[in-house]
Amino acid sequence: MSLLVLASGSHSRRELLGRLGLPFHHHAPDIDETPRDGETPCMLAERLSRDKARALAKHYPHHLIIASDQVASLDNDLLGKPGSLDATRQQLQRFSGRRVRFLTGLALLDTRCGHCTTHLDLTTVDIRTLSPEEIEGYLTKEPAIDSAGGFYMEKMGTALFERIETTDPSALIGLPLIALCRLLREAGVNPLLE
């Protein structure tokens, strides 16, 4: 089996990949995540996942590099990681009672041949109508300033939800495992047979 590398510093993504029972290394890539002019949320999520994988290619020349990136959008506006408590509060206030789209890009780069396969997963989340007290309560318990959307789905963030529509629940956490298993099988790595 080719050695797997997860191009991420995210604990949640490492935990998700660990569910597959395959040995892997992880290495956080250093890329510019600034959206380009005219780039849609779909285009950005796919590009960033590819860029993350390619950023590690020279360090891992005989590996399968897994990379993922997620962006949130509301009313076609691209929403990044809030970065501060105040920005997270504003984002959650804006989401209250609304449907938010989360686009999770996935890339699998085989550095032995340079082939990169991508996948884009769409998850929609209906956020409950949140009172100011609920938003403050969430921010006190779990200030998710470094997460697209301003919440952690794998933790208390689900208390903010009314409903989720997805083909892969792991995508909202940041790594679509169903698609990843398919891409790995296509690359010759079957988690059930390794």
Known active-site residue 69: yes
Length, in residues, of the chain: 194
142, 152 Cβ separation under 8 angstroms: yes
72, 148 Cβ separation under 8 angstroms: yes
Say which residues have a Cβ less than 8 Å from residue 123's Cβ, sequence separation at least 6.
101, 102, 104, 164, 165, 166, 168, 171, 172
| Whole-number Å distance between alpha carbons of 20 and 32 | 29
The sign of the torsion formed by the CA atoms of 167, 170, 175, 179 equals: negative
Residue type, 131: S
Residue type, 162: E
Q: Annotated catalytic residue: which of 51, 69, 110, 168?
A: 69
Q: Could you give the residue numbers annotated as active site? A: 69
